Structure 1
Amino acid sequence: MADLYNIQNKVGKGGIRRKPVALMPEDPPTSTALEQSSPFLKQVSPVVLEQDADFPKSWPTRPELVKSSTISIITDIFIDTILLGLSLAFFTFGLIVRHYDQAPVALHEGTVKTLLEATKYGPSVFPILFACVLGRAAQAILAWRLESGERVGVCDLLASSTSLTSTVTSQIKLRMVSFLGFALILIWSLSPIGGQASFRQLSIGARIDNEPASFTYMIFGGRMEQYDTSDRTTSFGIINNLFATALISPTTTKRSPTDTWGNIKIPMIENYESLAFPDSEGWFTTNMSLNVYSSLVGIPMSSMDKTFINYEMNIETSYFNLNCSSVDDTLKSPVTKLPPGNFTGSGAQIWSTDNDAQRHDADANTLEPRQIGYQSWSPPVVASQCTMEMTYIEVKIHCDSPSNCAASKLRRSQQPHLPPAYILIDHDWAGWSQFAANLITAFPGHPTYTTVATSYIVEPNDPLTYVEAFTLPTTSSKPLTTELFEQRFGQLLNTYWTCLNEMHAVINGMTPTTAYMQGTNLSAQASQFFYANSSTTNGTRDATTPIMECNVGWVIALCIASAVMIIASLLHPIIHYFYTRGPDLMLNISSLAMRDNPYVAVPANGTFMAASDRARMLKSFKVRFGDVDQTSDIGRLAIGSLEPPGKYSVGTVSNRRLYY
C-alpha cells in the first residue's frame, strides 16, 4: 500500500508539482489485506495519472488544524445576519398588517403607502429569500450529517433539496418515499405560498358606520302672491320650461323614482290602497309596477354628498288628488258659459266653479272640495268635471347613494293637517286664478291646435303625438279611462304646482340660495328670488371610511412561512459553530468530487481546507466525467483530470461501449 500511494512532493518556484504515480503497479501486491481493504482494485485496469500540473503557491504543504479564516467567519456572520433580518422583516410585516386591520386610511396615509408598496415586492423577494435561507440550512444539515455518519439516501435528499421542483423530482427519480422527503416538500411549498401571502394579506376596503343625520327638503307653501310682480312673465317663462321638460322627458325618466334633476318623486298612495295591503303600521312597501307618481318633478333634498351612502329618512309631503266624472270625448268646441274662474289656452280650457275669495275667507272645516273642469276640443277631445282635494302622506326615503334615491314606503300622514278639501292654492286670494291661467297657457300656440299638456293625458309616453300632426291617430295606445284621466290630469296639476313652489330648487337642489333654510340671507329680499319653503327631518346615513383590511388567513400563512425561514436562518450558524468540526463543504465538484480522488491530479494534502478555498484555487483546473479506463475492453466512469492538457486521458462517454 505504501508503494501504491507513494507520492513525492516538492516545492518549486511555480508551486507544488506532483510526480507521476502509478495507481496500479505493473506487479500489484497479492496481499489479501490489500484486496480486503479495497476490493474494487481487483477490477480496475492499470491507469497512470501523469500529475505534472502546476498548483497555486498558496496550496498547503504541511498539515494544519481545521479552522475557518477570519474573513470566512465575518462573511458567514454577515450573511446569516442579513438572512435572519429579512426573515424577521417578513414575519413583522404580517404582524404590522394585522395590527392595522380596520385602521382608517386617512389617519395612516404614510403607513398605508409604505405597506402597499411593500406588498408589490413580496411575491418576488420572498421566494428568492426563502430559497437562499433554506438552501443554506440544507447545506449545513448535510455537512453535519455527513460528519456524523448518515445514510446515503438521506444525504441525497438533502443535497437535491434546492427548490420545490428539484425536491419533488429527485424523490421521483430516487424512488424514495419517506417522512423526510414529505417534510422537505411541505417546507418548500411554503415558498410560493409565502410570496402570495405577502401580496394578498393587505387590501383597502371600506367600513360603513351608521350615524344620525339631519336633512332639509322642500315643502309646498302655496304662496302665489310672490308671482304677482312686474317680472312674473320671466318667472313663468322659467316655470313653463321646467314643466315642458318634465312632460317630454324620456319614458324611462318618467317611470324612474327620480326626475331629470335627481329630485325624489312621490307615488300616489291611492293606487296602493286599491291594489295592495299595508303592514300593521299602515305602511305600503313601494313597487315599481304599482307606482303612479303624483308629479313628474320630485322633491329636492339637501345634506347628501358622495361621502355617505344608504341614507334613510321620513318626510311629510302632499299633492293634489282628483276624483273625476266620466270622460266625455264628444265635445268638439269650447264651452262658452263658464264661471269667472275659466281660463282658455291653445285647444283647451280649465275652470273652477268656486269663488277664490270666498274659499280664502271660509272656515276650512266647512269647505267642500274645490270643483274644477277641463276640456280640449282639438284632437284628442277630452272633458271631465273633478273635485280637487289634498292628500297628505309620510314617505320613507332610501338612497343607496346621493344620486340613487327612491321612496321605499309610504302611508297616510299621522300628523295633524287641515281638512283635505282646503287645498294649498286657497291660501292666497287669487291663488287659483294665478295657477290655472298660467297652466293652461304654458304651451302657447294656435287656438285650435292641441298642446303637449293635452296630448300627455292621452299619450303620456309620447306627448308630441297630437301636436300639429297632419295625420292624427284614430285611437290611442290605451283607452282613456276615468282612472287614467284622474292620474294624468292630476300629474299635470301637481307637476306645474311643484315647479311653482321650487323654481330654482328643482334644478340646483335645496341650498341657502334656492330655499328658506339654515344659512339663507333673509335680509336680501329673498322673496323676489322665489325661494322654496323647507322643512327638516332626522334620519340616518352610512359613512364610508376607507380602511386597511387584512386577510387573516394570508397573514397566518405569511407568519408560518416566515417562521420557517427564521428557524432555517438560525440552523446554519448553530450547526456550523456547535455541531460540525470539519471544514466547510459545498455541493460542488471541488469540494466533493476532487477530494482525494485517485483519478484527479490534486495533491493529497490540503484536505483540511474550507470548500471556498478549494474552489477558489481549483477554479481553472479542468476535469471530465468520462471513461478513466479507455485501454480496457470494459470502461469505468468517473471524474478525472484533464490537467495538464495531453497528459491524462479521460475519454468521453460512448453509447457503444460497456462500463463497469
Structure 2
Amino acid sequence: MSKGRLLDGVSPIEGISPTDSLDTLFLKSGSSTAHSPQSLRAKPWPARPQQLCKGIRGWRWWDSALDVVVVMLPIPFFVLAAAVIFVNGKIVDQEQFTILNHSIKGATTLFPICFAAITGRAAIKFATWKLEQGTTIGVLEQLMGSRTVASALTTQVQLRSFNVIGLLMIFVWSLSPLGAQSILHILYTPVLPTSTASSVAYMNSRQQSYSDPRPSSSFPGQWFNSLAIEMGSMLIAPTEVKISSMDINGNVKIPCQSSLLASGTPDSEGWVQTALMNATSNGSLVWSSLFGIPIELGTKLGNTTFSIESTYIELSCNNKTVESLEPDGQNGPRINFTYVSVAGPYFSAEDPDPLDPWIIGYRGVDITTYNDTDGSAYVFPLFCPDCLSSNFANKTIEAGTIAFQEFEGLDNANATTVFCNPYQRYVESEVSCMKTAATQQCQVTAQRDSVLPHMPPEITYLSFPLVALGLSALLPNVTPIHDATNEVQNYLVYDPLDPLTIMGEDNSVLTSGGSTPKFLSDVALSDIETRLGQILNAFVYGSTWNASIFLLGESIDNLQGHEFGGKNASFVPATRADIVAMIQNQTAAFTVPAVLRTQAQVYVCNFAWLGVFLFSTVVMLIGAITGVVFSRKTIVPDYLGYVSSLAKESPWIRMPDVGVNMDGMDKARLVKEVKVRLGDVSYVYGGYSEIGRLAFARLEETTKVKKGKLYV
C-alpha cells in the first residue's frame, strides 16, 4: 500500500470501518510494535464485564466522604450570618470585632470558590442523571457549559437557548459574585447612642435623725461643726451654684413638688417633667433643700438615668404677725416670750436672748406620746417617720406649727412672727446624669408622688422631740453673728441668689448707723416658706445618721462594711419591694437599676444584604444536596466532562471494553500518562497529501495540523 492513499473502504468523511480494530489498523499500516496500543492495557483494568451498581449500596467511601464535605461547606457561612445577627446592636468589643472582621474578609474570598465547586458539581451530577434518563444534546450543553458565571451567560447566547434551564443557570451563577459582595456589607460599626443596663447607689434621705441639743450628745460637739460649715457655705454660695441642679459637693438637688405642679401637668402615671433647661437659665425651679442627695455613679461614662426615693419637709406659711416688744424690766431690752420659749406654746430648747436676731420654736403632737391625752411635749425620740409602727399610717394627726420670730431692734421695735405648718413629702424623682472624664452633671428630669408606703404627711421629723429641740438650739449657731450680720436671717429676708447681700447686710437687731435693713415683715409668705424650708431640710439631712456623706462629699462606698447605727449600704440593685424593706431597716444607701446611654461603636447588621447572603448560601446548600441526591439516583458512572471519556469514544484510542462502573476520573488515573493530540491521522491510511483527517488520537499516531491545509 503506497503512502498518501486511503485504505480501501475508508473515506475521509466516514471514518474507520467499524470492523477494524486499532491493532488491525496499525498492522495494516505497517506500524511497529513500539507503537502498539498494548500500553493502554498495562494498568489494572477490570478483567470482565460488570453490572452497573453505582447506587447506595455500591457507593465508595471516598465518594461518601466527598458528599459530606460538600454538604458541610455552606455551614461556616451560616455560622457567620448567625454571629452577625447575635452581635447586632451590641457595643463593639475590639477583640471580638477583629475576629469578625477577619471572618468576613475570609468568607468573601472563599464564598465564590465554594459556590463554584458546589454548583458546578451539582450541574454535572444533574446532567449525568438527565443523560441516563434520556435528554437532548442542547440540555446537556447548557448544563455542562454553565460552569462559571461568564460561561452560564455565553452558553445560552451561543446555543440560542433561553429556556427555563438556561435562565435558571444564569440566575444561580449570578449569586456567586452577588453573595460574595453581600458579605462585605452585612456588618458595619457606626458610632451611635446605645443603652446598657447599669446601677447607681444613692443616699437614703429617710434615715433617722440624731439632732440632739443636750451636751451629753455627740451631735452638738462633733457633727454640728461640719454641718454649720457646710450650711454656711451653701448660704453664701455663688448664684450659679444656687440655681444649679447640684450642690457644692455634686449632690443632686430635689425640687419641691408644689413648684412643679404649679407649672406642669402630671401624666397618667403622675410624673411631672421638670423642664430643667429653662429652670437652670432663669432659676424658676424651686429646690427643697440647700443640700442635694448624694449619688455614686461609679466609673461609667455617659448619660445615666435612674429613679430615687427621697423625702423633705414642705412648709405652708399662712400667718404673719407684727407686735410691739415689751421691755424686760425697767430700761431692759425688749424681749417677747409670748410665742417661742422653753415653756411654749412654741417650744424652744432655750429662751430668747436680748441680742438674738431671731428664734424658732415648734408646737405639735409629740408622736412618741401620741396615745396620751395630756398633749404634753416631747419625751423621747423615735428617730424618723419611717421608724414608726405601720399602725401610724392610718392615723389622723393634726399638723404641727413652726413659729419663726424675728426681733427688729433693741428699742421701740417690733417682733415679727411667721407661722408655718410643716408637711413631710415623699417623692420619687427621675434623675439624669451626664458623666465625662472630667465632669459630672446630674439633674432631676421628672417627679411624682412616691408610690412606696409612708406615714401621713402631718408626721414629720419635727414630730420627734429632740429633732425639733435640736433645731431650735443649733440652727441659730449655723452662722454666728459677726459685725451685726446673720446669714440665715439675711437668706430669708434678702434675695437668696445674691451672696453679697447675705454676707454684708446688717441684721434686724444690730444695725449700723444710717442703714435701713430689710425685715421679715417685708417678705412675702410664699418666699419665706420656700427659703425657710430649704434651711430646715438642710439641717435635717445634716443631722441624719451617716450625714458625713452629705456634709463632706465622701463616697458612698465608704459606708460598706461600717454600721454607723443604721444598716450598711446596699450595693446590690434593688427592686421596689427591696427598697421598701430597706427603708424600714434604715439602710444607709440604696443601689437601684439604671440605664446607661453612651456614644459608642455599635454592631449594626444590614439585614437587606444579610438576606442576600443567606439566600445565596441557601442556594449553595441546595446545590450541594442536589449534587448528592442526583449522584445517588444515577446508576451510570460519571461520564461527562472528562477527557478520558472523550478518549474512550475516539476510534483512534481504543480502551478496553470493560470497567463500566469506572467513572471518568477512575479511567483518567489509568491513562493519565498516555500522550494525545488533536492532529492529522491521515497518514495511517497513507492518506491524501491535499486532505487531512482531524482526530483525537495518540501523539505518535498524529502529525501537527498545518495552516491552509484541508481537513475532514
User: Shorter-chain TM-score: which interval?
Assistant: 0.5 to 0.7
How far did residue 164 of structure 1 move? 5.4
SS state of the match for residue 162, structure 2? Answer: coil
How far did residue 508 of structure 1 move? 3.9
1:605 matched residue in structure 2: 655
1:59 to 2:40 alignment: yes
1:144 to 2:129 alignment: yes
2:534 matched residue in structure 1: 491
SS state of the match for residue 40, structure 2? Answer: coil
For residues 255 and 386 of structure 1, the distance between their equivalents in structure 2, rounded to whole angstroms, comes to 28
1:80 matched residue in structure 2: 67
1:408 to 2:446 alignment: yes
Q: Is the 8 A contact 2:70 2:624 kept in 1?
A: yes
SS state of the match for residue 156, structure 1? Answer: helix
Q: Is the 8 A contact 2:365 2:398 kept in 1?
A: no
Q: Which of 332, 352, 358 is the aligned partner of 1:351?
A: 358
For residues 367 and 618 of structure 1, the distance between their equivalents in structure 2, rounded to whole angstroms, comes to 111
For residues 226 and 129 of structure 2, the distance between their equivalents in structure 1, rounded to whole angstroms, comes to 94
Q: Partner letter of residue 217 of structure 1?
A: N
- CA distance 1:604–1:637, change in 2 (3 Å): closer
Q: How does 1:182-331 map to 2 (within 5 A)?
A: 182-187=167-172, 217-219=204-206, 221-225=208-212, 228=215, 235-240=223-228, 242-243=230-231, 251=240, 255-256=244-245, 265-277=253-265, 284=272, 286-288=274-276, 289=279, 291-299=285-293, 316-319=311-314
SS state of the match for residue 120, structure 2? Answer: helix
Q: How does 1:175-186 map to 2 (within 5 A)?
A: 176-186=161-171
For residues 503 and 38 of structure 2, the distance between their equivalents in structure 1, rounded to whole angstroms, comes to 112
For residues 148 and 238 of structure 2, the distance between their equivalents in structure 1, rounded to whole angstroms, comes to 68
Q: Is the 8 A contact 1:516 1:534 kept in 2?
A: no
SS state of the match for residue 498, structure 1? Answer: helix
1:393 to 2:436 alignment: no
For residues 418 and 150 of structure 2, the distance between their equivalents in structure 1, rounded to whole angstroms, comes to 87
Give RMSD over aligned pairs: 7.2
How far did residue 64 of structure 1 move? 6.9
- Deviations 1:577-624 (CA, angstroms, capped at 9, x unpaired): 5434255433x6x347666569xxx62436877432554544785768
Aligned pairs, number: 539
Q: How does 1:98-109 map to 2 (within 5 A)?
A: none
Q: Partner letter of residue 603 of structure 1?
A: I
For residues 123 and 562 of structure 1, the distance between their equivalents in structure 2, rounded to whole angstroms, comes to 12
1:513 to 2:520 alignment: no
Q: Is the 8 A contact 1:322 1:386 kept in 2?
A: yes
Deviates more, 1:51-60 or 1:560-569: 51-60
Q: Is the 8 A contact 2:679 2:704 kept in 1?
A: no
For residues 311 and 65 of structure 2, the distance between their equivalents in structure 1, rounded to whole angstroms, comes to 76
Q: Is the 8 A contact 2:677 2:702 kept in 1?
A: no
2:394 matched residue in structure 1: none
SS state of the match for residue 205, structure 2? Answer: strand
For residues 143 and 31 of structure 1, the distance between their equivalents in structure 2, rounded to whole angstroms, comes to 32
- Deviations 1:121-163 (CA, angstroms, capped at 9, x unpaired): 8777666544433322211122333455534443333224445
Q: Is the 8 A contact 1:369 1:421 kept in 2?
A: no
Q: Is the 8 A contact 2:312 2:426 kept in 1?
A: yes
- Deviations 1:546-567 (CA, angstroms, capped at 9, x unpaired): xxxx999999999987776665
- Deviations 1:40-89 (CA, angstroms, capped at 9, x unpaired): xxxxxxxx9x9999799852389975789999944323212333456689
Q: Partner letter of residue 491 of structure 1?
A: Q
Q: Is the 8 A contact 2:315 2:529 kept in 1?
A: no
For residues 514 and 150 of structure 1, the distance between their equivalents in structure 2, rounded to whole angstroms, comes to 91
For residues 567 and 256 of structure 2, the distance between their equivalents in structure 1, rounded to whole angstroms, comes to 30
How far did residue 390 of structure 1 move? 2.0
For residues 127 and 263 of structure 2, the distance between their equivalents in structure 1, rounded to whole angstroms, comes to 84
- CA distance 1:293–1:357, change in 2 (3 Å): closer
1:427 matched residue in structure 2: 467
Unaligned runs of 5+ in 1: 4-19, 38-47, 103-111, 327-335, 376-383, 469-479, 521-532, 545-549
Q: Is the 8 A contact 1:157 1:181 kept in 2?
A: yes
1:500 to 2:567 alignment: no
For residues 41 and 173 of structure 2, the distance between their equivalents in structure 1, rounded to whole angstroms, comes to 40
For residues 450 and 62 of structure 2, the distance between their equivalents in structure 1, rounded to whole angstroms, comes to 85
SS state of the match for residue 41, structure 2? Answer: coil
How far did residue 395 of structure 1 move? 1.3
SS state of the match for residue 219, structure 1? Answer: coil
Q: How does 1:636-647 map to 2 (within 5 A)?
A: 643=699, 647=703
Q: Is the 8 A contact 1:392 1:412 kept in 2?
A: no
1:648 to 2:686 alignment: no
Q: Is the 8 A contact 1:140 1:576 kept in 2?
A: yes
For residues 694 and 450 of structure 2, the distance between their equivalents in structure 1, rounded to whole angstroms, comes to 101
SS state of the match for residue 288, structure 2? Answer: coil
Q: Partner letter of residue 288 of structure 2?
A: S
2:411 matched residue in structure 1: none
1:530 matched residue in structure 2: none
2:404 matched residue in structure 1: 371
Q: Is the 8 A contact 2:362 2:401 kept in 1?
A: no
Q: Is the 8 A contact 1:94 1:198 kept in 2?
A: no
- CA distance 1:316–1:295, change in 2 (3 Å): closer
For residues 101 and 200 of structure 1, the distance between their equivalents in structure 2, rounded to whole angstroms, comes to 12
How far did residue 294 of structure 1 move? 0.8
TM-score, normalising length from structure 1? Answer: 0.55
How far did residue 434 of structure 1 move? 0.9
Q: Which of 629, 634, 645 is the aligned partner of 1:579?
A: 634
Q: Is the 8 A contact 1:624 1:641 kept in 2?
A: yes
Q: Partner letter of residue 581 of structure 1?
A: V
For residues 64 and 497 of structure 1, the distance between their equivalents in structure 2, rounded to whole angstroms, comes to 109
Q: Is the 8 A contact 1:512 1:518 kept in 2?
A: no
How high is the sequence identity, in percent, across the aligned residues? 18
Between the two structures, name the one with larger relative contact order (CA 8 Å, sep ≥ 6).
2
Q: Is the 8 A contact 1:313 1:397 kept in 2?
A: yes
1:378 matched residue in structure 2: none
SS state of the match for residue 448, structure 2? Answer: strand
- CA distance 1:304–1:421, change in 2 (3 Å): closer
For residues 89 and 272 of structure 1, the distance between their equivalents in structure 2, rounded to whole angstroms, comes to 59
2:330 matched residue in structure 1: none
Q: Is the 8 A contact 1:356 1:432 kept in 2?
A: no
Q: Partner letter of residue 538 of structure 2?
A: T
- CA distance 1:33–1:225, change in 2 (3 Å): closer
- CA distance 1:320–1:246, change in 2 (3 Å): same
Deviates more, 1:277-286 or 1:428-437: 277-286
Q: Partner letter of residue 424 of structure 2?
A: Y
Q: Is the 8 A contact 1:90 1:562 kept in 2?
A: yes
